[in-house]
Structure 1
Amino acid sequence: MIWSFARNTLLCLLGAALLSGCATRSLFQPYPDQARGWKSGLGAGAAPTSLLDKGADSADGVLYLQELGRVTQLDGDIDGSRAAFDRVFEHYRETDEAARLRATGLVTGAGALMVNDNALPYVAPDYERIYAHAYQALNYWQSDDVTGTAVELRAAAEEQRVAAARHEREIARAEQEADRQGIDPDRLDGYFAGLDVAAGTVKASFQNAWTFYLSALFWEAHGEYNDALVDYKKALEIHPGADWIKEDVTRVSRALDGRYPRGQGMVAVLYEQGYVPPRREISLPIPTPHGIFAVAFPTYDAADKPAPRSLTVRAEGGEQASTGVLTDVGGLAARHLREQVPAMLVRQALRATGKYNLQKKANDDFGPVGAFLTQLFNLVSERADLRTWLSLPAYGQAARLMLPPGEHRLQLSTPGGGASLTVPVVERGLTVIHVVALPDGLLTRVLPVQEGSL
């Protein structure tokens, strides 16, 4: 009878998790362990995308599809990457509609409170959504589809605008719910000091100056100087010490007065360094009406973040520039997690209480053996949610040169290696070199020149 109870209990708990939308791969294998499978061999055309295809139809499908879009892009499969990101955006629309219905009370959410946060369907945070649109813009750019590029760059900007509008409101709502449940996040601040260090100078999890800079370059090349000026200024607002962006603002401001420099074209380097660090798991004491429970919680460690390293670009004529950091992606991820702390504490407290009640009932109905079995399940199921988009870069950097029209041989160099390539430069046009630093060296692609009216 006891063993029948144990079997039925475990099956019911697992079934509840599955029905609540979990991806069992994330439940039983930490996501960073999974990601090692498809991060190996990136850029060599041999990434094991079958691992991602298997997860694309799960409740965590949007996460696997984001990875798939990025992996196939780095492997040069632009059509495959575009198709993956199109599916990603469909997930975003479904998620937004579900959130709207919850807000209007038309539907209710049932969290997987008896297992762990891995049993909740993955919802892409704002910084991931912004990157997805930026990468899709690069896909269209690579295909020389000017209209598609413009649409995706505007979508990335819209994601940032919407995120800014709802940011403070969502944080306040989570803090109010924590207060209603009798949870004081400030009492646990010491456990999250590492998150604040990992976030560094990042003030909000949705501010991405790299995507603003990408967009500004595109608008400037097509003579949309008002739009370019707006986006350059937004990038500068996030990084006020970036002197080269100040020069961009001055140049485009003069262009609005009809004073654009003649006899020159622009070469911009969009540089992505390394990989965003994964989350770690820590044990955190959560107070409940039945005492203090130790629960698993995700965090970031600043020691996992690589130091930012610039890429230098040199032209044969002696012109050179070094990239500067525009986006600290690890900082965005850490800041996002820090913003989610009140809501996660509420879920953890409710989960701990539910598990306590289950254990108490098992002890009352089946004695010490029943209590032991439920306690064992609680121990095994206590896993932190480590899911994030792990093929994103650690840092997004950029630099640009103004060069005379013609073919130019450029030398790219980083502390980890270099590359040389020949690029076309068109008067008043834009040539973008997309550079990604992978463990095996630099991956470089020269995108089609942008020029003329849209």
Structure 2
Amino acid sequence: MAHIRRNIFKASFFLGVMLFLFGCSSYNDMIASYYKQISAGNYAEAVKELDKNKLLQKPRNKLLFLMEKGKASHLAGDYESSNQYFNEADQLLENGIGGAMDAVVGTLVNPMTQSYKGEDFEKFMIHYYKALNYVYLNKTEDAIVEARRISLQSQQQGDKFNDKDSRYSKDAFSLMLQGLIYESDRDVNNAFIAYRNAVEVYLKSENQTYYGTKMPDELKRDVLRTAYLNGFTSELGRFEGLFGMKYESKAAPEGGELVFFWENGLAPVKQQEEFFFSLVKGSSGDLFFTNLGGSIIIPFNYGYSDGNFNLNGVESLRATYPKYVARAPYYNSATLSNGAQTVSFEKAEDINELAFKTLSQRFMKEMGKVLTRLAVKKSAEYVLRQSSKGSGKDGKDNSLLEGLGFGMQLYSLLSEKADTRNWQSLPANISYTRIPLQKGNNTITLSLKSASGTEESKTIEITGTGRLQFYNYSTLR
């Protein structure tokens, strides 16, 4: 029996080493070649890297693959293909991702082995890119449909939380975008409703700042203007009082206006963070997890255990959880000029802030699941090792059971891995501005400045048609 025990231990050890080596790599490390091409602006090469990346080809990473493929195609100017991928991603989300077996795999191994279901703000960003794609393809009706779906997404998101005002249940930027799309279609009634909804999100937030983004002055002007155009005098007066602004009607520019979105930097990446907890019994007999300093206290979820749970087998637990690491953008300011007027940008969406805060909000709930799962595993290991004692021939220890117990212990320790996946080609933040256009040809200049003082510029040609137009530009480095 001794040789059986040795063989089981060896097999467990080598399996553990393999899991450990795999576990040392984050998702970002494993697809670094793709992000390198995206940052360098080599979008065609980035698409090729996606197609040959084995990790992203796995079924559990299908949503990530579709979102990255949609974004890379959008950046390359292939808007039709981009929306094919985003529509497939949308359908995947609507049908539901994962299931009972997916949850079992996550419990037995780690969350990284489960199907990726997307961060909530990532789902809103799908609508942003889809809407722009439709606008650029002159498919106005499809862009309007996408704008309407933003409200449905907000409703679905809000249904997940009881404390909707304090959780990320609506996306103010998406509601603003919705208003802009309606306005571009000259639907000022729906535009006003969307702008008002965006304003209300800010008004309910502390200091009128929603996840790192202060209410833009441009949004204030938009809601005032559309209230006036609709003849909503009471609403106009209300917002004038709230903003401390007096609306003054003026003629629209002959060539219309350009709404310019500047997508700057890259979204933060996820890395693994380790925590050490103990399972202790409180004065009332309830079990809870606590870290070394006692600053984190999480109740034990009895629903994950069964009658065989043994507290003696759980002394300390090593748990992993993802943490975001921000990437400093190369550029830190920009202006836009039409030759006669220069305007500044206002931040519209802070994806960095959204990522950090939404992950922090669900820490206690998700860490509770992680710790309970680990405690149940440890209890099972303990029961298996205890069963081996005196269960062999002549009352001797059962080497097979003991070896399995140690093997299970090593596997549990080294297979534990945080889910470090996320849509990493999103920008760190999105800023926007409006600039008037003259009828016919317009030369628009974007001036960029880096933290070191380096200045660069990009010039685009826009034909003024008398309507509201859109343009987005990415500086993903």
Residue type matched to 2:265 in 1? G
1:254 aligns with 2:228: yes
Query: Following the alignment from structure 1 to structure 2, what is the Cα–Cα distance between the partners of residues 85 and 108?
Result: 23
Judging changes above 3 Å, is the alpha-carbon distance between structure 1 residues 247 and 52 closer, same or farther for their aligned structure 2 residues?
farther
Give the structure 2 partner of residue 409 of structure 1.
Answer: 443
Task: Check 1:85–1:430 CA distance in 2 against 1; reply closer, same or farther (3 A cut).
Answer: same
Relative to structure 1, the CA distance from residue 256 to residue 130 in structure 2 (aligned partners, 3 Å threshold; closer, same or farther) is same
1:384 alignment partner in structure 2: 418
The code of the aligned residue for 1:430 comes to L
The structure 2 residue matched to 1:287, chosen from 274, 278, 282, is 278
Which of residues 333, 352, 357 in structure 2 aligns to 1:310? 333
Q: For residues 59 and 69 of structure 2, what CA distance do their matches in structure 1 show?
A: 14
- Superposed, 1:262-273 pairs within 5 Å as 262-264=252-254, 265-273=256-264
Distance 1:304 1:434, change over 3 A: closer
Count of residues in correspondence between the two structures:
390
Q: 1:348 to 1:262 in 2, by over 3 A?
A: closer
Equivalents in 2 of 1:10, 1:160: separation in Å? 48
Give the aligned partner of residue 2 of structure 1: 5
1:132 aligns with 126
Note the alpha carbon deviations across 1:264-310, whole angstroms, 9 max, x for none.
31111111111110123221123334223121111235x64659833
1:297 alignment partner, one of 293, 307, 321: 321
8 A Cα contact 2:70 2:83, kept in partner: yes
Closer, same or farther in 2 for the Cα pair 1:35/1:166, shift >3 Å?
A: same
Identical-pair percentage: 20
Which of 214, 217, 232 aligns to 1:243? It is 217
> What is the correspondence of 1:186-225 to structure 2 with a 5 Å cutoff?
204-225=167-188
1:40 is matched with 36
Give me the whole-angstrom Cα distance separating, in 2, the residues matched to 1:242 and 1:413: 21
Per the alignment, residue 139 of structure 2 pairs with: 145
Q: Deviations over 1:215-252 (max 9, x none)?
A: 21221121211111122223334454422221112222
Q: Which moved more, 1:321-330 or 1:118-127?
A: 118-127
Name which of 371, 374, 378 aligns with 1:356: 378
* Superposed CA offset, 1:85-106 (max 9, x none): 121112112217x78xx9xxxx
Q: 1:3 to 1:336 in 2, by over 3 A?
A: farther
| Structure 2, unpaired ranges of 5+ | 203-207, 209-214, 233-248, 280-310, 389-398, 451-455
- TM-score (norm. length: structure 1): 0.76
Does the CA-based 8 Å contact 1:52-1:68 persist in structure 2?
Answer: no
Change (3 A) 1:219 1:157: same
Q: CA deviation at 1:67?
A: 1.4
Q: Kindly tell me: are residues 253 and 76 of structure 1, through their superposed partners in 2, closer, same or farther at Cα, counting changes over 3 Å?
A: same
Deviation at 1:262, TM superposition (A): 4.0
Give the deviation of 1:34 after TM superposition: 2.5
The 1:306/1:36 distance shift into structure 2, 3 A limit, reads same
Return the letter of the residue paired with 1:256.
N
Name the residue aligned to 2:287: none
Matched, 1:374 2:374: no
Per the alignment, do residues 390 and 206 of structure 1 end up closer, same or farther by CA in structure 2, a change over 3 Å counting? farther
Please give the secondary structure, in 1, of the residue aligned with 2:228: helix
Q: CA shift at 1:56, angstroms?
A: 4.5
RMSD of aligned Cα (Å): 3.4
Alignment of 1:87-98 (within 5 A): 87-95=88-96
Counterparts of 1:442-453 in structure 2 under 5 Å? none
Q: How has the CA–CA distance of structure 1 residues 409 and 81 changed in structure 2, closer, same or farther, with 3 Å as cutoff?
A: same
Unmatched 5+ residue regions in structure 1? 18-24, 172-201, 440-454
Distance 1:355 1:11, change over 3 A: farther
- Counterpart residue number, 2:461: 422
- How far has the Cα of 1:26 moved from its partner? 8.8
- Contact 1:53-1:64 within 8 A present in 2 as well: no
* Distance (whole Å) between structure 2 residues aligned to residue 81 and residue 28 of structure 1: 33
Helix, strand or coil for the counterpart of 1:409? strand
Sort the Cα spacing of 1:204 and 1:126 in 2 relative to 1 into closer, same or farther, 3 A. Answer: same
**1:165 corresponds to which of 145, 159, 164:** 159
In structure 1, how many angstroms separate the alpha carbons of the residues matched to 2:413 and 2:54? 31
One-letter identity of the residue aligned with 1:356: K
Whether the aligned pair in 1 keeps the contact of 2:5 and 2:402 (CA below 8 Å) is: no
Distance 1:95 1:56, change over 3 A: farther
Q: Which amino acid aligns with 1:346?
A: G
Compute the displacement of 1:434 (Å).
0.8
Q: Which residue of 1 aligns with 2:148?
A: 154
| TM-score, scaled to structure 2 | 0.72
How far did 1:162 drift? 1.9
Q: Deviation string for 1:289-336 (max 9, x for gaps)?
A: 4223121111235x646598332101112x121111111112212222
* Residue in 2 that maps onto 1:20: none
Kindly tell me: are residues 86 and 11 of structure 1, through their superposed partners in 2, closer, same or farther at Cα, counting changes over 3 Å? farther
Return the letter of the residue paired with 1:236. V
Contact 2:334 2:344 in 1 (8 A): yes
Query: Partner letter of residue 178 of structure 2?
Result: S
Question: Is contact 2:102–2:114 with CA below 8 Å preserved after alignment?
Answer: no
2:359 to 320, 323, 337: 337
Report deviation, 1:128: 1.2
8 Å Cα contact 1:298/1:384 also seen in 2: yes
In the superposition, relative to structure 1, how do residues 371 and 26 fare at CA in structure 2: closer, same or farther (>3 Å)?
closer
Provide the secondary structure at the position in 1 that maps to 2:427: coil
* Structure 2 counterpart of 1:376, one-letter code: L
**Cα distance change on mapping 1:370 and 1:262 into 2, 3 Å:** closer
Is residue 277 of structure 1 aligned with residue 297 of structure 2?
no
Deviation (angstroms), 1:29: 4.3
Moved more, 361-370 or 59-68: 361-370
What is the distance in 1 between the residues matched to 2:218 and 2:166?
22
Q: Which amino acid aligns with 2:461?
A: T
Give the deviation of 1:6 after TM superposition: 5.0
